[in-house]
Amino acid sequence: MSAPPRGAKTVLLRSSISVAGLAQRVAWLPLGRDERDPQRFWLLVLGALSQTAPGSAVVRPLTAAPELDGWAITERLLKDLTRRGDRVWLVVDDVHELGPAEAGRQLELLVMRGPLELRLVLATGQDVRLGLHQLRLEASSCSAQELTAPDTEQSSHRPRVP
């Protein structure tokens, strides 16, 4: 999801997750400015996923150490996530903060090789180059009305989250 800063991406995503009843299955990872350290990023991903109902059963914890490699962490996470078939969502908010550096390339690997049960939502305020042009993405269209924050009186127009 791409929209300008202050474009209500976070509000829309949180509202959609709440309305769909997915809070226990969603790992939310807000990124800060200049989040470029691969080890820190992947430890945050592991921590967020382990807080979800499906992730708590399969994601093995790691502790920061100088020898930890972001690529090895990514490969391990891919193995962990294929151990079980429960669907889990990973929302990376402000993914543009990763930049084109190593952590961004590692996230690209997760996007390309992640299991079908992993749903990735990448929210950004800027263009992000993750090699997504190489993927065949399944997408559903929705109207502008469906993308508005849910109104309690208009339950029939709530955004759908597959």
Is residue 22 a part of any domain in this protein? Answer: yes
CATH number of the domain where residue 100 is located: 3.40.50
Q: Which residues pair with 28 in a beta bridge?
A: 91
User: How many domains does the chain divide into?
Assistant: 1
Is residue 81 a part of any domain in this protein? Answer: yes
Note the pLDDT tens digit of each residue in 77-119. 999 888 767 889 999 988 888 876 788 888 888 988 989 889 9
Whether the per-residue pLDDT at 60 is higher than 50: the answer is yes
DSSP 8-state symbol, 92: E
Q: Do β-strands 118-123 and 26-30 pair in parallel, antiparallel, or remain unpaired?
A: unpaired
Burial of 102 (0-12, 13-18, 19+ CB in 10 A): middle
Global pTM value: 0.74
Is residue 162 a part of any domain in this protein? Answer: no
CB-based contacts of 101, cutoff 8 Å, min separation 6:
36, 38
Is residue 108 a part of any domain in this protein? Answer: yes
